[in-house]
Homo-oligomer: A and B are copies of this chain.
Amino acid sequence: MELKMDRAALSDFLRREFQQVNDDFMIEEVAPMRVRVRLLAHERHLRPGGTVSGPAMFALADVAIYLAVLAMVGPKGLAVTTNCSIDFMRKPASGVDVIADARLHKLGRVLAVGDALLYSDGMAPPVARAGLTYSIPPDRA
């Protein structure tokens, strides 16, 4: 399996197609069936106390798996999230970025399934884990 989009191509795509969230995320690494994405801890992602909010962590896991799918199938067609199950395990460190290590476990004709571990930058134990399913539209050929 080889990449259809590398880090530069995915970063361009994010900038062009998702202007609203583009400065929230930074793609750090892209490999076959794997990506690492950073959520930049802007004020708007923080809860009282300065920790990154649940919805912001959900958004990070979601975009990470989305990018892992795009890296493999290319920019055609619009994959949509059909399911996410997320476990919030620890309070993130205050005011620091959160990083998602995401893997795809399945890339089928109609469904892609992956999971992600989320870490507060500089903290060893993960703060959250998520499993996601994406539906891949048939017209991606």
Most-contacted residue by chain B among A55, A56, A86, A135 (CB, 10 A): A55
Which B residues are in CB contact (< 8 Å) with A126?
Answer: 105-106
Copies of this chain held together in the complex: 4
Given B86, B89, B106, B125, which contacts A90 in the complex, CB threshold below 8 Å? Answer: B106
A108 to B82, CA, bound (A): 12
Partner-contacting stretch, out of A7-15, A93-101, A109-117: A109-117
A12 to B85, CA, bound (A): 31
Which B residues are in CB contact (< 8 Å) with A83?
Answer: 83, 85-88, 133
A85 to B108, CA, bound (A): 20
A17 to B117, CA, bound (A): 29
Contact in complex: B125, A17 (CB < 8 Å): no
Contact in complex: A85, B82 (CB < 8 Å): no
Asked if A38 CB lies within 8 Å of chain B CBs, one says no
Contact with B along A38-70 (1 / 0, CB 8 A): 000000101110000111101100100000000
Contact in complex: B110, A87 (CB < 8 Å): no
Q: A44-B20, A58-B55, A62-B55 are in contact. Are A106 and B125 (CB under 8 A)?
A: yes
